[in-house]
Structure 1
Amino acid sequence: MMPPKPAARPDKVSLWRYLKLFRQDILSAQPARLYRAWMAEFRTPFFRSYLCNDPALVRLILNQRPDDFPKSNRIREGLTPLLGNSVFVTNGEVWKRQRRIIDPAFEGGRIRESFAAMAAAGQAAVSRMQPGVQEIEPEMSHAAADVIFRTLFSIPIEHEIAAKVFDQFRAYQREQPILNLAAFLPLPRWFPRFHSRRTKQTAARIRGLIRGLTEHRAGLIAAGEAPDDLATKIMTTPDPVSGQLFDTEEMIDQVAIFFLAGHETSASALGWALYLLATYPEVQNRLAEEAAGIGEAPDFAVMGQLKFSRDVFREALRLYPPVPMMVRENRCPEVFRGREVAAGGQVVLSPWHLHRHERIWERPDEFDPDRWQTEAGRSCAKEAFLPFSAGPRVCPGAGFAMIEGPLLLAMLVRAYRFETVAGRAPVPVAHLTVRARDGIWLDVKKRG
């Protein structure tokens, strides 16, 4: 059995229908031919967009000349109310300064130090889960948010402010499309950005709550009483070039993207991974056997035992990359595959297409965790696997996610068996991340 494809893969879509579908659901708008093409051009009255599936072009843009292909401000339009000027949307020297401060917090040793908090969040998720038919995405969102709060601010999700941030973020995630109308129009900076009142109000509440956490932590740091967690590390790390620290507003921006990237993306990946395991019970049994040996209170050493769990998580990231598309803008005129691309073009790099590309992957729509242990699978991973982007702008939390995901999967599958529900096959759509249109419904049963 194969996991479901997007709701539709039409071969031809009119411009206006494409725009309508794109706003409602990016994935349904994608024609079937794009899963075979190395490159495609999309024209609107205001700009041209180029989808690049050629691995050589992807390397050029992300690895070889990243400064010539900054992030497009068209993507930023829909995220500004929440993310402000965070590292996710900035470019140039501002972005470089932000990364110089942030990156040390996610080095290998720091991830090891965060492991106990991850494991505690996993144990809490196992304790919260109850047998029965249920929508699994809210549970995975709860677990992923718990990981973020425990590792970032040393507080569990049950903490009053953490719970409020989580509740507000759930509302924001469902109502905010990945692109808003301003992404398609050449608007001056002063023109209204078409964000709904509810979106702006929810974003303001989230940022207000984050402000409280940040200011409280600043007080603990000043008093010498702050825990040694990710927030403290980031807030006390000066830029090695300028010697400056993040101020409060900058830290609020960064915490907002840490929560978005660390909570939304992990929740998406975990939900789809559990659905895939339910669809393939033989794979789930193998993972359960591996997980049986990790013990009730795992330490970092168990990650060496969870090799199959890691491959399952990677395969879920391949089929359902949480961030389906990334948009860059070419500063200079370029020639892509013999085609002239004028400066200012929108260059789309799409994990959604690359991970299912028919000319790169064997059986691209099939769930097969064992592919990661084959030579062909490892080769494809180097050429066309971008769940965390690549190059200098690779997600700083990529290593963090590749510990968190397999660990939580193992802990959950060790305790429970997950089965599909008849008539409830999930359909992938893009909100802030790839989610299921009507949720992922599974039948959860306690393991004996």
Structure 2
Amino acid sequence: MIPPKPKARPDRVSLWRYVKLFRQDILSAQPARLYRAWMAEFKTPFFRSYLVNQPDLVKTVLKDRPMDFPKSGRISEGLRPLLGESVFLTNGATWQRQRRIIDPAFEGGRLRETFAAMWAASDAARTRLIARAGEEVEIEEFTSHAAADVIFRTLFSIPIEDEVAQQVFHEFRTYQRSQPILNLAAFVPLPNWMPRFFRKDTKATARRIRTLISGLCEARAAEITSSTAPDDLATKIMTTVDPETGETFDAQEMVDQVAIFFLAGHETSASALAWTLYLMATHPEWQDKVAAEAQALSGDFSEVSKLKVSRDVFREALRLYPPVPMMVRETTCPEHFRNRTLPKGSQVVLSPWHLHRHERLWDRPDDFDPARWQTENGKTCGREAYMPFSAGARVCTGAGFAMVEGVLLLSLLLRDMKVAPVAGKEPVPEAHLTVRSRDGIWLKVSRR
């Protein structure tokens, strides 16, 4: 079967119709021609936007000249109440300083050190799913809980059952439901002094989340001072000194960074795992292969590298359902792409969703086929047209972490459990903060 994807809009619509569609769902607001286009232009009264699919131009923006194409402030307008000046939103020297402090926490050696916490969270998720055997489960809610548990255990050494962890988890769920991807400032350029208009519930939820995170960070700072802090990601980040300035993050900066770790690390992982489990339910032959490979798992970090089937399955799910469907950069000077001049201040949209399904690049782009990664076309596209975690200097800091987490959770869950689709409840993909299903993803779970 062909995995579901959103129905495309008509090729031409008015600006206000587009804005309305975009607020409802980023993906169905786009025309079908983007699955074949190398570049497409979209004009508004206030700015021009160019979606770029041509691999060498994507490389120019993300890898060759990333500092010439900073992140656009338009999309970040709607996220600042929660994320402040986090590494996800900043540019230039501020972003470079933040990466110098954050990156060491996610280096290869740290994955081995955090694996025990990741395994504990994955095993807890397996136990929770076993308890639901024989039921129909809304799997996105389940994977959100599992991914949050991984974040809490690896970042602050607390399980999701911890009272504060529970509060943060539920507040994040509320925030995701209340926060549209766009507000007025995304389409109309507003001066810095002008107040931004956010929904009251969005602002209130963001304040509650930041207060809870601030409490966790203050408690950890006290443990660091008394030399009783566990050796987890939070401790590593809070004690890492910027080699150029000799400074660490202050309290406000740390709250900003933890907020994006939760939003990006938890939300994207939950989305990716949910869609992977759905694809396993609809492709039982691959589900059985993952389960067979997982039988040897015992909890040793070295075993992860042997999960080759699970890795290809997870990569294929990320291709079809990249958690972050679009990324927006901005030109700092006029650029010349495909015989067009992009004025300074233009929005350059890079769409993993369209690039991963591009009809002129991939063989059978809408099919689920983990075996493609061993073909010549798959290997070429994997290098040139695959970016579920972005690419280049601004590649997701936790990309390696996410690949271990996703593969481990998938393997451990399917080792003992089977998932099957629920008749009449095919999911409809739509994108707000990440690619989710409009009415959830319902699966029937049973013991293997």
Q: Same fold (TM over 0.5)?
A: yes
Structure 1, residues 202-235: CA drift from partner, whole Å, max 9, x if none?
A: 0100000000000000000000110000000000
2:338 alignment counterpart: 337
Q: Is 1:83 matched with 2:86?
A: no
The aligned amino acid for 1:319 is: L
The aligned amino acid for 2:112 is: R
In 1, distance between residues paired with 2:191 and 2:86? 21
Give the one of 131, 139, 153 matched to 2:142.
Answer: 139
Shift of residue 375 of structure 1?
1.8
Q: Is 1:56 matched with 2:56?
A: yes
In 2, distance between residues paired with 1:341 and 1:437? 35
In 2, distance between residues paired with 1:331 and 1:21? 29
2:37 alignment counterpart: 37
The aligned amino acid for 2:347 is: Q
The aligned amino acid for 1:258 is: F
1:5 alignment counterpart: 5
1:250 alignment counterpart: 253
2:218 alignment counterpart: 215
Shift of residue 109 of structure 1?
0.3
Q: Name the SS for the 2:247 alignment partner.
A: coil
The aligned amino acid for 2:413 is: L
The aligned amino acid for 2:341 is: E
Shift of residue 261 of structure 1?
1.2
Q: Is 1:378 matched with 2:342?
A: no
The 8 Å contact of residues 7 and 428 in structure 1, kept in 2 or not, is answered as: no
With normalisation by structure 2, the TM-score equals 0.98
2:121 alignment counterpart: 121
Structure 1, residues 287-307: CA drift from partner, whole Å, max 9, x if none?
A: 111111213xx1101112211
2:351 alignment counterpart: 350
Within a 5 Å distance, the mapping from 1:181-192 to structure 2 comes to 181-192=184-195
Q: Structure 2: which 5+ runs fail to align?
A: none
The aligned amino acid for 2:11 is: D
Q: Name the SS for the 2:34 alignment partner.
A: helix
In 2, distance between residues paired with 1:337 and 1:316? 31
Within a 5 Å distance, the mapping from 1:347-426 to structure 2 comes to 347-426=348-427
2:161 alignment counterpart: 158
Structure 1, residues 116-164: CA drift from partner, whole Å, max 9, x if none?
A: 1111001100111212112000110000000001000000000111110
Structure 1, residues 393-429: CA drift from partner, whole Å, max 9, x if none?
A: 0001000001000000000111210000111011111
C-alpha change, 1:338 and 1:8, in structure 2 (3 Å) is closer
Q: Name the SS for the 1:401 alignment partner.
A: helix
Q: Name the SS for the 2:263 alignment partner.
A: helix
In 1, distance between residues paired with 2:195 and 2:318? 36
Shift of residue 9 of structure 1?
4.6
The 8 Å contact of residues 53 and 350 in structure 1, kept in 2 or not, is answered as: yes
Q: Structure 1: which 5+ runs fail to align?
A: none
The 8 Å contact of residues 136 and 442 in structure 1, kept in 2 or not, is answered as: yes
In 2, distance between residues paired with 1:366 and 1:13? 29
Structure 1, residues 244-282: CA drift from partner, whole Å, max 9, x if none?
A: 000000000000001111100000000000001101111
The aligned amino acid for 1:127 is: T
Shift of residue 16 of structure 1?
2.2
With normalisation by structure 1, the TM-score equals 0.98
Give the one of 180, 183, 201 matched to 1:198.
Answer: 201
Shift of residue 19 of structure 1?
1.2
Structure 1, residues 83-132: CA drift from partner, whole Å, max 9, x if none?
A: 00000000000000000000000000001111111110011001112121
Within a 5 Å distance, the mapping from 1:217-296 to structure 2 comes to 217-295=220-298
Between the aligned residues of both structures, percent identity stands at 70
In 1, distance between residues paired with 2:247 and 2:305? 38
The 8 Å contact of residues 174 and 431 in structure 1, kept in 2 or not, is answered as: no
In 2, distance between residues paired with 1:59 and 1:396? 18
The aligned amino acid for 1:317 is: L
The aligned amino acid for 2:55 is: P
Shift of residue 192 of structure 1?
2.7
2:98 alignment counterpart: 98
Moved more, 13-22 or 381-390: 13-22
Q: Name the SS for the 2:28 alignment partner.
A: helix
1:28 alignment counterpart: 28
Shift of residue 283 of structure 1?
1.0
In 1, distance between residues paired with 2:371 and 2:220? 44
In 2, distance between residues paired with 1:87 and 1:300? 29
Q: Name the SS for the 1:27 alignment partner.
A: coil
The aligned amino acid for 1:203 is: A
The aligned amino acid for 2:98 is: Q
The 8 Å contact of residues 7 and 427 in structure 1, kept in 2 or not, is answered as: no
The aligned amino acid for 2:320 is: L
The aligned amino acid for 1:111 is: L
Q: Name the SS for the 1:85 alignment partner.
A: coil
Give the one of 144, 149, 159 matched to 2:152.
Answer: 149
2:432 alignment counterpart: 431
In 2, distance between residues paired with 1:325 and 1:8? 16
